Amino acid sequence: MRIDLIVFCCQNASIATLTIRNLPEQLHETLKLRAKRNHRSVNQQVIAELSLAITQETLAERNARVELEILEIDALRARAKGFLTAEQIDEAKREGRA
């Protein structure tokens, strides 16, 4: 029994606790409804929603990512030496098959 107690304490030593004060009643009711709909406790629902919110890309993060992608595209375009015509593409295909 004593060993079980030590293991239990060690397992729970890394679990964080979060206390939310002044939670608006409407928000609490919404969380309770969602928890019931998802067959979860309110605590489990809060954890699920926080996990989802953290993994979703914010608008600022999305804008920064898009800006980087545009810079990469512009760099690739700058390295390109013009555009190939349909005839040049067909010729390259024929040469590759020979």
* Tens digits of residue pLDDT in 58-98: 899 999 999 999 999 999 888 887 788 899 889 989 988 76
| pLDDT tens digits, one per residue of 53-68 | 888 888 999 999 999 9
Q: Which residues have a Cβ under 8 Å from the Cβ of 80 and sit 6 or more positions away?
A: none
Structure tokens at 14: 């890394």
Stated pTM of the model: 0.51
Average pLDDT score over residue span 3-26? 69
**Phi first, then psi: what are they for 56, rounded to 5°?**
-80, 140
Residue 9 carries which side chain, given as an amino acid letter? Answer: C
Nearest Cα to 48, choosing from 59, 58, 37?
37
Rounded Cα distance, 33 and 45, in Å: 10
